[in-house]
Chain A
């Protein structure tokens, strides 16, 4: 099994190289999709033989002089994210086969970059060594920059630069935090650090704040979120899907794995501040969405609100302790996966609509259900899932982040109340979105547009299915974490 963990990094990397060197555009995208498919299939047997703690580990010396180890592992916290990463990368690679971006650098290169991003993402979710974790965290950055700058919309250069510089700022703090923790504790091993948190409380608080800011940039947590709307709006469809679907999860995963795991005392001390910021993110993100006029920007800002719910769960979990056994962290994990699935789907839909109508302005859209009923139906489904309708994936994470906060009592109940009110605002902006895009008489931009293509059906249906299945059987995520 430990070879499998390494294979999860090697296969997409090899696929990326192959896709990059193959001369034929078609062969390149097929090779990339093949590699993504193999990677996805490789994630499936991981739960076999799972037990308490880490299910499987691979651990060898890497730079013995510095005490660095090549230490990978998978457990219930990381596994759902690993599967989600592999699935979304597969869907995006397959999508580029049919939807090669016209007049741009080749689709094969785009697919290759997606695979490099996948290597970094899987590296983050698999790493059990802080330095390895940091390196994987950084691997993601440049290819994502290239995806936005190479295949993005009109203002792509600016958006890509902002994304890269802003998240680099986060990386600096991450590096400081990681080295600081490793040096003061004498080991970079996440498992050892989690099992025996040896650092003093004040040290933990200091490092947690540094690391929390670093992860908050990626998540993103208000007010460190402003790179996100630009990046999302300009990124190509597959870029947005990966960005929202899994790249943001590096932040929330990091704060759970490294923050709560390695620095539990620090996390507990800072949790109230984190909770307040999370709730602010929910309300502010929703209000901005309510006044937003651009489709992709609106969905991007909705991520700010949804990630607010996830971080509220994290904050509650930090107070109650118990990591994956706590309701807060479980809600966060559920919210993480649900957001990945649902927002991935929403960005696919936004891309499909923008490709056809050549506009993302809510003022110019309208009446989609008259001309493309199937697409409008899926959009309605995705919006209902995103507003946290029970029975669909979004419900569990958000409702139980609220319950977890109520469980803590005191001022947390007030935070829970504000967050619950944010859920009503979320419904308000998503219903406004639907009303603008799907209802009413057909606008000229949506008249005569093509229906849902086979490729789109292929890319969307797994996400639609997952949104429903995770809504009905949330234990698929929270059960493996326990």
Chain B
């Protein structure tokens, strides 16, 4: 198969998306067809390329030449890129199909499906792009699409604010991302990733470290790492399939993927890896703890994403790129499943709040079994997907050297316990206990089929990859430690549930604080949002009264001066006359002298 086929990965969904935006919004059929086509073609291309994969290839052409640097448009295909592209394709297709049912009564479905297509295309551009400018393009277009899609729901008053927050927080990170790319591109004389790797040994240490740290800012924004993680939980205001898309294979995965893709740059900048490790440990625990106290089912899942991203970046920080991408893939499968299943639950009972759910295992059997697999995979129950990838990460951290590795390992172990605890809590609260819901709307097959299908990789992907590459995980006595912690977590949650009906009762007075995620939103508000709002108001006043005041003042002053001159003239014509005469006389004398002296 020609590798040029890879060009289709971003281009077909993008074309479907742009076309979809032009279609009349009332025509659902065309919207759905375009959306599903874009995702299916991308998926098919990824499958074909993976099946025929031989070696890493780069294909490109010059996009535009600016100054002495060629910006290129092309693809850099390796096995990792194709695996991630495959995951993107699967999740995108599942989301597109599922959305047909989930947005059945929505008159804005057409643009929505088109935006999902563009979102998919942007992520694929990040995944297969050969040039950092192309990666940046996909990176930022994703931010814009997430903005549009999170704001989709017109009935939610908090949706527009959440959308702005998602775009803006990631955009702040992108300031660093752009500068990092600029530093690397300028130092290498090219934005092509392969050229940058070639030029890397010749760059100064300062340049590489600065570039790596700046890139990390962008990564923190996209992959929701502390302190730029605050947008992700709020992004729940978007329709549930969008949450699945953002949390599973796109957007948050982009940051982790880009670090893996540009790993030689980070390897050459140990400081950046240490920073990443600290960020990862904080993010991992912060997300896990915040997930324990939520009542909104989607928020539990959202904070669990934050925490799981901490595992991935932690793996990257100890140099374990393969385990990081491994966990990215398994997480994509089970998190997409969990969100789409949560959507079925929400669709069925009409609320997001777990305190208003219960006993749904009988009324929603398919959802129950799928979600059981998803939650077990999340908790790391062997032999489901999450178990393998988490073991791989912890193994790498255990074998790593230095403080970063210890930090990641300890945080990872603690996270295993907490993850199992909140996953069990969710499972018990939603599917067991007394039922509150008399009228349960069973979701249609368009919604259930993607969920059920995603259960397959959620269960088997880890084992499959392990069988293909047994080096990735080492099953020894140390590997039992996380399993033991996981079991403890499940037991603790079960014990709490038996005792009071909600395991979170254990948290006591900490619960509101944890539910508000350590009130970091307030910190952000006080340290960033409000100072800038005030600064903006001040600048406006300074500019409109200060700078413009000078201009208006000069105008008024000139008019006033003219006025007094007029008065002076009127009152003292003789004086003026005398003045004019004096000047005239002086001129005559000077001219005369001039002539004489020649």
Residues of A near any B CB (own CB < 8 A):
162, 165-166, 222-223, 225-227, 284, 287-292, 320, 325-328, 330-331, 369-370, 373, 377, 380, 384, 389-391, 395-396, 399-400, 402-404, 406-407, 413, 416-417, 420-421, 423-424, 427-428, 431-432, 435, 439-440, 468, 473-475, 478-479, 482
Contacts and interface: CB of A to CB of B under 8 A. Distances in A.
Given A327-B68, A417-B179, 11 more contacts: A223-B547, A226-B544, A289-B536, A327-B66, A389-B144, A390-B140, A403-B186, A421-B175, A423-B175, A440-B160, A475-B63
Nearest to B107: A373
Nearest to A329: B67
**B interface: dominant SS:** helix
B67 A326 contact: yes
B160 A424 contact: no
Contacts of B167: 427, 431
Contacts of A402: 178-179, 182
Most buried by A among B66, B548, B551: B66
Q: Nearest 8 pairs between A and B by C-beta?
A: A327-B67, A390-B137, A290-B536, A439-B160, A226-B548, A287-B539, A291-B536, A291-B540
A18 B6 CA distance: 57
Contacts of A407: 67, 182, 186
Interface in B368-419: none
B64 A475 contact: yes
B66 A288 contact: no
Interface of B: 18, 21, 25, 63-69, 108, 111, 133, 136-138, 140-141, 144, 147-148, 151, 154, 157, 159-161, 164, 167-168, 171-172, 174-175, 178-179, 182-183, 185-186, 532-533, 535-537, 539-540, 543-544, 547-548, 551, 555
Given A165-B555, A226-B548, A403-B182, A431 B66 contact: no
A395 B63 CA distance: 14
Contacts of A370: 154
A289 B533 CA distance: 11
Contact of A423 (B21, B178, B551): B178
Contacts of A423: 171, 175, 178
Contact of B164 (A325, A384, A404, A432): A432
A226 B551 contact: yes
A427 B540 contact: no
A225 B175 CA distance: 26
B147 A431 contact: yes
B141 A389 contact: yes
Contacts of A331: 66
Contact of B540 (A292, A380, A395): A292
Contacts of B178: 399, 402, 420, 423
B233 to A, nearest CB: 19
B64 A291 contact: no
A3 B185 CA distance: 45
A378 to B, nearest CB: 11
B539 A435 contact: no
A401 B108 CA distance: 38
Contacts of A328: 67
Given A431-B147, A435-B161, A440-B160, A284 B543 contact: yes
Contacts of B186: 403, 406-407
14 contacts: A288-B536, A288-B543, A290-B533, A384-B144, A389-B141, A390-B137, A406-B179, A420-B178, A424-B171, A427-B167, A431-B167, A435-B160, A475-B63, A478-B66
Given A291-B540, A370-B154, A395-B137, A416 B179 contact: yes
Contacts of A439: 151, 159-160
B17 to A, nearest CB: 11
A418 B174 CA distance: 13
Nearest to B157: A440
Contacts of A222: 547
A417 B183 CA distance: 11
A99 B319 CA distance: 64
A389 B140 contact: yes
A325 B160 contact: no
Report which residue of A162, A289, A395, A427 has the largest number of chain B beta carbons within 10 angstroms of its beta carbon.
A427
B183 A330 contact: no
A291 B544 CA distance: 11
Contacts of A320: 67
Contacts of B141: 389-391
Contacts of B172: 424
Contacts of B551: 162, 166, 226-227
Contacts of A435: 160-161, 164
Given A325-B67, A403-B186, A420 B537 contact: no
Contacts of B18: 468
Contacts of B540: 287-288, 291-292
Contacts of B151: 439
Contact of A428 (B159, B168, B183): B168
A474 B64 contact: yes
B535 to A, nearest CB: 6
A296 to B, nearest CB: 15
